[in-house]
Amino acid sequence: MALRAAKIECYNLVTVSSILPPKCRIIKREEGLADLEPGSVVFTVMSRIASNEPHRRISASVGVAIPENMEKQWGYFAEHHAFGDGKEKAGQYAEHLAYNMYQSITDKIPEKTLNITESAVVDEDGTWTTTIAAAVFLME
């Protein structure tokens, strides 16, 4: 259900690690989905978390550090998932991770950071609940 909520349930997802490639553009989800066919193999950086503990808040986040010159430099993704943290706190933490990881490898400060974060609270009956956050790559 989390994949459906993210609108990526009909693709074959291949999880990759943490590099935002040079020349990569960040586009809106709707624009990217229009270029994909069901069954496509799609590379993604994904964070996910699940729980069945009643009333437990869960959050999944992907932060990204964007370099100053995306034409020539690469950036960094960081996945974070947490119990108890709300959407804002989890998102800020993922951005902070991406920032620090980028800076520790490049000795540069990223031009910008951002995140995609989802959060949910498990129902009182303990129904399994999953949240995901994903950055999906479209290849030309």
CB 131 within 8 A of CB 46: no
Q: What is the pLDDT of residue 101?
A: 95
Residue 140 scores a pLDDT above 80 = no
Average pLDDT, the chain: 95
For 26-47, the pLDDT digits (tens) are 899 899 999 999 999 999 999 9
- 140 token code pair: 């030309």
pLDDT in tens, 59-110: 999 999 999 999 999 999 999 999 999 999 999 999 999 999 999 988 899 9
Q: Note the pTM of the prediction, 2 decimals.
A: 0.91
The burial of 60, by beta-carbon neighbours within 10 Å (0-12 exposed, 13-18 middle, 19 or more buried), is given as buried
From the options 3.40.640.10, 3.60.15.10, 3.50.20.10, 3.40.50.620, give the CATH code of 2-137.
Answer: 3.50.20.10
Angstrom distances, CA of residue 129 to CA of 31, 38, 50, 83, 132: 28, 25, 5, 12, 10
Q: Where are the domains of the chain?
A: 2-137
Query: Could you write out the DSSP letters of every residue in 118-136?
Result: EEEE--TT---EEEEEEEE
pLDDT tens digits for range 115-130:
999 999 999 999 999 9
